[in-house]
Structure 1
Amino acid sequence: MNWKAALPMYNLSPRIQREYEALLARLLVDGGVRDRVELLAAPELHAFWRRPDTLVSQTCGYPYMTMLRGEVTLLATPSFAFFGCEGSDYSSLIVVRAGSRAQTLADLRGGIAAANDVHSNSGMNVLRHAVAPLARDGRFFGEVKWSGSHVASLRMVRDGEADVAAIDCVTYGYLLDAAPDSVAGVRILQSSAPSPGLPLVAGRDVPSDLIDRLRAALLAPSPALRAHMTALRINGFEYRAEEDYQRILHIEAAAERAAYPLLM
């Protein structure tokens, strides 16, 4: 089997992309499988996650719970050294323009929200959860604009095209380091509920012995792998079982109990 692998979720600058590619290559060496893997730079992720020959990828916990269970195997989840992260849990930073008069979420009633994707935990699910107690007749915002990325959501808030967005704290931390202009002009209103971070996963055709080798390499990294982790602000990796990711569905269910099933 010739496997496929890619870690593009946080490729927010050329340097970060190079480091993730180097981390992935080192992981494959440490797992004893490097010569049988094609590294892909920017696959279409929803299709890539479902490929049975995907050896290593990274997905958001919300599509994992809603679309990918049974199609991928959880390898390990990174623990990041960024504000908003606690172990391998992460949260979103709910941001408004620096000059916004909003002091609480309630002040944003009837405003415009920017969200990266309908399948995103960090951009949609946790924002829906945060405003659900404030919704009236299933609605809180005047409009929701789907931006396509956290970077685009930040730009829309900064430029006045939207009033609020929820930004994955890892994305925010990387941008603060690599592209500070992209977060200039916004301020953090509050943090979202935490949940397990974006897991590394393997496709359904990957044999259990290879999964064990890759997971072991992540949980007990070699000095070479550790060096790339440090460059990416990754403190370590933890194995998180599917039961841990149920918390993401609990966040969804809380919004549904508040009669707010859709971000709107």
Structure 2
Amino acid sequence: MTRRIASLGMYDHGPQQAANDRLWREIARILRARGISGVPLDLERSRSLSAVLHAPELLFGQVCGYPLVTDTTLALRVLGTPVYEVPGAQGGVHRSFLVARHDDAATLDTYRDRRAAINGFDSNTGMNLLRATIAPIAAGGRFFASVTETGSHRASIAAIVRGDADIAAIDSVTFAAVQRDGPEATAALRILASTTESATPPFVTARATPIETVAALRVALAQVAEDPGLAETRATLFLTAITSGGTERYAPIRALEIDAVVAGYPELR
């Protein structure tokens, strides 16, 4: 029997790890009680998030909305959309905060020819929403002097604090977690602007997952979203609900890319 994979790697730092473990254990318990086989005991943390999301044995995961609608090599089915309750996120949507050092310039247009940091070129909050914000004020298809890929939002924050970069777009859910768990980092920053909103990263399973397993996963998500015994776990994750729906909620993310192309700013640079 193939052992399936479960991951909650989108928001999995500090106290979030223990909360994710607790959430997954309850989801796994519900799945087993409904007769689903091959349910992993633990969350996968040894592989990259990209490798996990491309694995045909993926039982449960969470994916950024941008690759969901642009990466044709992904074969995923949306199970539901998490609702996070933090500044800049509510009702199943979130946004990014454009941040810079607290003692640096205070307006976005003064960061022309400065250094940007992004978590990844395949990121909605780090790249796509930033590109959509810059597109109307970019000239000649270029705005920044350089764009450096750091690998994570937290690494982008660290690069700004160190002085290795000047500006970044940070997912509002991650920003809230850093503000709670490492307030000295966010205290060194100023928020220059907020991006437009988009749907939060959905919970997904491999497209090949049997339909009865998909149904059981959706039942499990509905139960853990309401279970009073998981209230503290959900609070640690800023999770207040999980709504149903499919990939249609993520079409506006692709539309932002198209709008940037039409504006003459197809690449963040």
Which category of TM-score, normalised to the shorter sequence, fits these structures? over 0.9
Matches within 5 A, 1:161-240: 161-221=164-224, 222-240=227-245
How many Å separate the matches in 1 of 2:168 and 2:61?
Answer: 26
How many Å separate the matches in 1 of 2:153 and 2:184?
Answer: 14
The one-letter amino acid paired with 1:239 is: S
Query: 2:91 maps to which residue?
Result: 87
Please tell me whether the aligned partners of residues 31 and 39 of structure 2 are also in contact (alpha carbons under 8 angstroms).
no
The 3-state SS of whatever aligns with 1:209 is helix
How many Å separate the matches in 2 of 1:170 and 1:58?
Answer: 14
User: Structure 2, unaligned stretches of length 5 or more?
Assistant: none
The 3-state SS of whatever aligns with 2:23 is helix
The one-letter amino acid paired with 1:148 is: G
How many Å separate the matches in 2 of 1:38 and 1:68?
Answer: 30
Query: 1:4 maps to which residue?
Result: 5
Please tell me whether the aligned partners of residues 60 and 204 of structure 2 are also in contact (alpha carbons under 8 angstroms).
yes
Give per-residue Cα distances to partners, 1:76-128, cap 9 Å, x unaligned: 1111111000211010011011011232x212111111111010000000001
Query: 1:57 maps to which residue?
Result: 61
Query: 1:134 maps to which residue?
Result: 137
User: Structure 1, unaligned stretches of length 5 or more?
Assistant: none
Identify if the C-alpha distance between structure 1 residues 186 and 119 changes in structure 2 by more than 3 Å, giving closer, same or farther: same
Q: Does 1:114 align with 2:117?
A: yes
Please tell me whether the aligned partners of residues 53 and 204 of structure 1 are also in contact (alpha carbons under 8 angstroms).
no
Please tell me whether the aligned partners of residues 102 and 108 of structure 1 are also in contact (alpha carbons under 8 angstroms).
no
Please tell me whether the aligned partners of residues 54 and 74 of structure 2 are also in contact (alpha carbons under 8 angstroms).
no
RMSD: 1.7
Please tell me whether the aligned partners of residues 8 and 17 of structure 1 are also in contact (alpha carbons under 8 angstroms).
no
Query: 1:37 maps to which residue?
Result: 40
Please tell me whether the aligned partners of residues 122 and 168 of structure 1 are also in contact (alpha carbons under 8 angstroms).
yes
Identify if the C-alpha distance between structure 1 residues 106 and 183 changes in structure 2 by more than 3 Å, giving closer, same or farther: same
How many Å separate the matches in 1 of 2:175 and 2:37?
Answer: 32
* Offset at residue 70 of structure 1 (A): 6.3
* Aligned-residue identity in percent: 33
Please tell me whether the aligned partners of residues 79 and 246 of structure 2 are also in contact (alpha carbons under 8 angstroms).
no
The 3-state SS of whatever aligns with 2:216 is helix
The 3-state SS of whatever aligns with 2:136 is helix
Please tell me whether the aligned partners of residues 50 and 68 of structure 1 are also in contact (alpha carbons under 8 angstroms).
no
The one-letter amino acid paired with 1:238 is: T
